[in-house]
Amino acid sequence: MSRVAAIIPAYNEENTIGQVLDVVLACELVDRVYVISDGSSDRTVEKAMLHEEVQVIEMLQNRGKGAAVKAGLDHSDQEVLLILDADLIGLTDAHIRSLLKPVLNAEAAMSIGQFEMGRVVTDIAQKVAPFLSGQRALQRELLESVSDLDLLRFGIEVALHRHVEDKGIPVELVLLPDLSHVMKEEKLGLLKGAYARLKMYRDIVKYALKNNPNQDR
């Protein structure tokens, strides 16, 4: 069976990173766990390092999710990659196994997790644009084939979606019942959270427009 590396980008996730790591480390399908702190200013690194089996990569400046995932890719050598958000609520071993199963069984090159029966707001957001989910498993070579990962910031999900569509690569959508995540407005407060969300959407739209082959038609 292919070896699996879990890559967990984290930016100021001290309240949830420990619980996420407890579940991931307990899953027998995962061989190595990498936490990439993307310029965190809280105790994210300290909390992650309490788990001795985890390799913590500390980026001193906030460079975005794409750069964090690229750092995890560069430090790992496993054939299958599991990418998870660090702010998940309700993560279980079953969720991890459901994400990994299609890729490990060669049924798909990538699986994408969709929240279901978690919280209304996050469920709706993922039903509208499931390809933007941060929970996925994929073949290493697929991620390596996406150029400029370190420059994509939150455009990484759009880049992956466009790549598999262009190449006709098989993808499987996996429902993740009772799973959710902490919203930016809950972490940062209404105004700061809304601003952070707008910045995230800006990265997504910027990449989508920049790489849209039909934009000049």
For 38-90, give the DSSP string. ES--SSHHHHHHTSTTEEEEEESS---HHHHHHHHHHH---SEEEE--TTEES
Tokens standing for residue 190: 């209404």
Q: Residue 147's pLDDT band (boundaries 50, 70, 90)?
A: confident
Q: Residue type for 172, please?
A: E
CA distances from 97 to 27, 30, 33 (A): 8, 9, 15
In the chain, % of residues over pLDDT 70: 76
In this prediction, residue 155 carries a pLDDT of 75
User: Taking residues 21-45, what's their average pLDDT?
Assistant: 97
Q: Where are the domains of the chain?
A: 4-182
**pTM, whole model, 2 decimals?**
0.81
Q: 10 Å Cβ neighbour count for 194?
A: 13
CA distances from 132 to 23, 33, 37, 135, 217 (A): 23, 22, 21, 9, 26
The CATH homologous superfamily of the domain defined by 4-182: Spore Coat Polysaccharide Biosynthesis Protein SpsA; Chain A (3.90.550.10)
Residue in 133, 134, 137 with CA at minimum distance from that of residue 29: 137
Residue 128 pLDDT > 80, yes or no? Answer: no
**Chain centroid to CA 178:** 18
